[in-house]
Structure 1
């Protein structure tokens, strides 16, 4: 994942931010697995902890009013977090790789769902507090064409 400035992050939609979090979790988990295999346990521990931090953020961002899927995702995030703790504790790369596969499947599903729902491009958010109260009016150019034809 490339370094993103705060300004660029603020321009991302919640769906895009979720995709970035999945990408970061996958990258950190792959790093943790590699470090564990190389017996660099301090770096592996840091990466595992970072993955759990990301999972916590993903769980905190769930909208529970959207239905049962939010509850199910929360349960999956908690399961993954528990498995990561056990993989870290036991230095079990097999368990970590199983979780990585699950995380990749969730990420792929999320990306497919967000691409399917992108029918129209959202209007950019207003840049500053002063613009929040600006009203934009669409002009009806058909009247001008009719008047020009007279």
Structure 2
């Protein structure tokens, strides 16, 4: 089920909520691609798989590598899933799409659980440093 969200509502979301929305959009596109392949509509399947791939690439690009090894591991997982999505697009293979859906669902559920627990392990000084960087980068552009 593809959800439409206004730009105003999107700007009110936290980065964590936007990541959750990206997982949802990725899953929606993967499901739509699977359905399109089953209906032998390869044009629509291609479009949905390209969108899913773009989302996976954006998730990887948005990682905070200061978070440690988990960011590197997530980057590797996102790259793997993006590659599998391309492979599924070339072969129009529903089994590959199901594998990607399974992994994205697992990551999404873990992300939602982490959001509910809302445990922030960054120190106050690290947050201040990051905030100072974000403030100066906004005005330097």
TM-score normalised over the length of structure 1: 0.76
Query: Which residue does the alignment assign to 1:36?
Result: 37
Q: Larger Rg: 1 or 2? A: 1
Number of residue pairs aligned between Structure 1 and Structure 2: 119
Query: Which residue does the alignment assign to 2:80?
Result: 79
SS of match in other structure, 1:28: helix
Q: CA deviation at 1:95?
A: 1.0
Instruction: Quote the Cα distance in structure 2 between the aligned partners of 1:58 and 1:67.
Output: 16
Instruction: Quote the Cα distance in structure 2 between the aligned partners of 1:70 and 1:39.
Output: 37
Alignment RMSD: 1.3
Q: CA deviation at 1:118?
A: 6.5
Structure 2, gaps ≥5 residues long:
121-141
Instruction: Quote the Cα distance in structure 1 between the aligned partners of 2:58 and 2:88.
Output: 20
Instruction: Quote the Cα distance in structure 2 between the aligned partners of 1:83 and 1:56.
Output: 12
Query: Which residue does the alignment assign to 2:70?
Result: 69
List structure 1 runs of 4+ shifted beyond 4 angstroms: none
Structure 1, gaps ≥5 residues long:
120-150
- State how 1:5-44 maps to structure 2 within 5 Å: 5-44=6-45
TM-score normalised over the length of structure 2: 0.81
SS of match in other structure, 2:13: coil
Instruction: Quote the Cα distance in structure 1 between the aligned partners of 2:116 and 2:85.
Output: 29
